[in-house]
Amino acid sequence: MEKKKSNLMTTVLLSILILGAFGLAAYIFIDLKNQIDATFSPISQSNRALSTEVASLLHPTPTVIPDPVTIIRQVQSLARLETIQYTVEKVITAEVNQGVLGPLFGDKLLLVAHGNVIAGIDMNKIQSTDLWLEDDILMARLPEAQVFAATLDNQQSYIYDRTTGLLTKGDPGLETAARQIAEQEIRKAAETDGILALAQQNAEAYLERLFNTLGYLKVEFVK
């Protein structure tokens, strides 16, 4: 009986020693892990900060600072009657160095240009002598229609294709030149399509309704 108790006590003591050894090993492992994390955490933070700095250098965010000084050059009163607007799309080809050495030094692009053309008559040009009565007819002489604006819509316009030679990065002014030509071509296309004649007709129709509301029921436009 005493021998069994002795064996039981020995087993219990061995179990306690084994559990204690495991607990001590676990404590040492956890403490060692915390020390390693504490050692390498600043390095990881430094690496992340360095990566952020490198990314900001490779992909910088532009800073635009407008000059606080504004200079107004001219103030002009306008009395323009805009009577029509065209929306025009035009494909523009711009190229340089397209000769024998084109494959090496050439540059060519296709610009899909979207623009607006606005036309009407300038009411400031109407004089008192341009309106008179003949019996019960109001006679009116209007100024000729003109294009007020032909502008490129930069948000809608885009470069469809661009080809550069093997030994060149491309002409930096080629796109600018293409956009300038695009504005001219957009205006020319609208004028060719008859925008001025339509602007004149719309102006006469609008002013006739206006004169009717003023009591002049018969209106005749003359050149």
Between 79 and 90, the more confident residue is 90
pLDDT of residue 73: 75
Q: What Å distances lie between residue 145 and 150, 175, 196, CA to CA?
A: 14, 32, 6
Least confident of 30-44, 60-74, 204-218: 30-44
Percent of the chain with pLDDT over 70: 71
Report the C-alpha gap between 46 and 83 in whole angstroms: 64
**Are 121 and 199 a contacting pair, CB within 8 Å?**
yes
Report the C-alpha gap between 76 and 84 in whole angstroms: 22
- Any idea where the domains of the chain sit in the sequence? 1-65, 80-222
Helical ranges in the chain per DSSP H: 2-58, 102-105, 174-192, 195-213
pLDDT digits (tens, 9 = 90+) for 92-146: 999 888 887 777 878 898 999 999 999 999 999 999 899 999 999 999 999 999 9
pTM listed for this prediction: 0.65
